[in-house]
Structure 1
Amino acid sequence: MSDTPSTIEASETSSRSYPWDDTADLHRCEDGGGLFHNFKTIRSGTVAELIRFVMGMPEERQDDYAIEKAGDHTLRIGEIRNLFRRADFPAA
């Protein structure tokens, strides 16, 4: 018999919370991710802190920034706004 878990009655929603406390860096989108991309960090903090920071900016400036989350995942403004609206987004 296999030790592989069954997908019968599997839920499509994850019971795990988003990793709001993961470390992240805020960058201007025009940085381009080149060789010195990491030297252009504007601000560091947790994912939640940086999402709050970006969402606190005037709307016309928000598109200029991206959050680089630990694990090499870049959050652009659409994903930042969706995460900010989540019911489990941590209060300040």
Structure 2
Amino acid sequence: MTDHPSTFRGGTTDTGGVHWDDRAAIHRRGDGQGLLDGMKALNRGTLAEMVQMIADMPESDRGDYVIQKAGDHKLETAEIMALAEREDFPGRGT
């Protein structure tokens, strides 16, 4: 899931797995992003922690938030919940 370019030939370093320890932040959907986007984060932590926070929300509230992951990848509700259901999700069963 990593989308950072490598330093060799500019290729991706995607190994096919989810990097649960990547930096991530929860933002309100449509918060405008922009130059000061980092200051608009509501919560910060690992990807696993942010996925768990969204998964723990009432279903009716989940659509109000997105996760912005290191490497400029924005996760919408469907992708977040798919991650929460993975067998290798660290928060599974909590």
Residue in 2 aligned with 1:67?
67
The runs of at least 4 consecutive aligned structure 1 residues that moved more than 3 Å come to: none
Q: Which residues of 2 match residues 6-85 of structure 1 at below 5 A?
A: 16-85=16-85
State whether residues 17 and 88 of structure 1, in contact with CA within 8 Å, keep that contact through their aligned partners in structure 2.
Answer: no
Q: Percent identity?
A: 43
State whether residues 25 and 42 of structure 1, in contact with CA within 8 Å, keep that contact through their aligned partners in structure 2.
Answer: yes
Could you tell me which runs of 5 or more consecutive residues in structure 2 were left unpaired when the two chains were aligned: 1-13
SS at match of 1:30: coil
Amino acid at match of 1:65: Y
The alignment of Structure 1 onto Structure 2 pairs a total of residues equal to: 79
Q: Report the alpha carbon displacement of residue 85 of structure 1 after superposing the two structures with TM.
A: 0.6
Change in CA separation of 1:58 and 1:73 when aligned onto 2, cut-off 3 Å: same
State whether residues 51 and 80 of structure 1, in contact with CA within 8 Å, keep that contact through their aligned partners in structure 2.
Answer: yes
Residue in 2 aligned with 1:3?
none
Could you tell me which runs of 5 or more consecutive residues in structure 1 were left unpaired when the two chains were aligned: 1-13
TM-score w.r.t. the length of structure 2 is 0.76
Q: Report the alpha carbon displacement of residue 15 of structure 1 after superposing the two structures with TM.
A: 6.8
